[in-house]
Structure 1
Amino acid sequence: MAVGKSVIGAELARVLGLSFVDSDHKIVAKHGPIPRIFAAKGEHHFRQLEAKAIADVLDAPAPAPVVLSLGGGAVLDSGTQQLLARTTVVFLRAELDTVRERITRNTGRPLLAADPVATWERLAAVRGPVYARLADITLDVGNSNVPQLVERLIHLLETESRKENS
């Protein structure tokens, strides 16, 4: 959460000439703002919408290559985990110091509304190990700008592809 998935993913897709899909944007386009979904129907309902949005992309017949940015909690869904096992997963890892400013000034994150820093730490402690287990590539996003991160990520993706093909 707040590690730059959407920005880095969009730039990676642009550089590679691929489509970019953000699962949160798909949900918003179809169901309205995420804070309103949380307020009206709760997190569980949002997670169901999220899993469906992700499955629509990853479980399509003959899916085209795409860069997909997932919402931070998406990996907690077992169905999503099964779909992710069939593709290359990148874990963008960040320390609290890297995201502190973003999470304290962004009011559009329902789960961080009460105490952003403590909540982010709690969520990272739960989600981090799941991402680490699912990830083919882990990229630390601290102390780098988006072009540097995308360049490093492309190198890691090429290395991963060579390993898979050998």
Structure 2
Amino acid sequence: MAVGKSVIGQQLAQQLGVPFVDTDAVIVEHHGTIADIFAGRGEHAFREIEARTVARAVDAANINRAVVSLGGGAVLDSGTQQLLGDCTVIYLECDAETVAERIARNTGRPLLAGDAMARWETLFAARRPVYERLADIIVDVRSGTVAEIALHVEERLREYAALKEEVQK
């Protein structure tokens, strides 16, 4: 949450010449704001919508190559974890100090109500092992511009693809 998945993903997709899908944006487009879904229907309903949205995006990306950005909690769903087994998963690694300013500017994050940084740290501590387990590539996003980070991600993707191809030989 708040590490730059959407902006870095969008830049990466542009560099690669492939579509970009932000599953949070798709949810908002079809169901209203995430904050409104949480307030009106609860987190459980949101997670069900999210899992269906992610499944459609991942299925489409497996057919026609794309960059897909998932919400920070999407990977907690076991079905989503299974779907990601067929994808190259990139974990954008960050820390509380780096995201603090972004979180302070964005009040539309329902899971960060109250003491936003304390909530972020709690969520991150719980999610980090899942991120690390699912990741094929880990990229530190604490420094660099969006363009620099996206170029680094592209380089790492190419290295990963070459290694994967070599292993399959």
8 Å CA contact 2:61, 2:68 repeated in 1: no
Aligned twin of 1:66 = 66
Aligned twin of 1:128 = 128
Aligned twin of 2:21 = 21
User: Aligned partners of 2:61 and 2:20: how far apart in 1?
Assistant: 18
The verdict on how the C-alpha distance between 1:103 and 1:63 changes in structure 2, with shifts beyond 3 A counting, is same
User: Aligned partners of 1:60 and 1:157: how far apart in 2?
Assistant: 19
Aligned twin of 1:161 = 161
Aligned twin of 2:31 = 31
Identity of counterpart residues, as a percentage?
53
User: Aligned partners of 1:58 and 1:103: how far apart in 2?
Assistant: 27
Q: SS where residue 21 of structure 1 aligns?
A: strand
Gaps of 5+ in 1: none
Root-mean-square deviation over aligned CA pairs:
1.1
Gaps of 5+ in 2: none
User: Aligned partners of 1:61 and 1:23: how far apart in 2?
Assistant: 12
The verdict on how the C-alpha distance between 1:26 and 1:113 changes in structure 2, with shifts beyond 3 A counting, is same
1:133 maps to amino acid: R
1:18 maps to amino acid: V
Q: SS where residue 154 of structure 2 aligns?
A: helix
Aligned twin of 1:48 = 48
Per-residue Cα deviation, 1:24-82 (whole angstroms, up to 9, x for no partner): 01101110111100000011110100000010122349620010000000000000000
What's the offset of the Cα at 1:105?
Answer: 1.9
Aligned twin of 2:96 = 96
Task: Number of aligned residue pairs: give it.
Answer: 166
- TM-score, normalised on structure 1? 0.97
What's the offset of the Cα at 1:144?
Answer: 1.1
User: Aligned partners of 2:131 and 2:62: how far apart in 1?
Assistant: 25
What's the offset of the Cα at 1:162?
Answer: 0.4
- TM-score, normalised on structure 2? 0.96
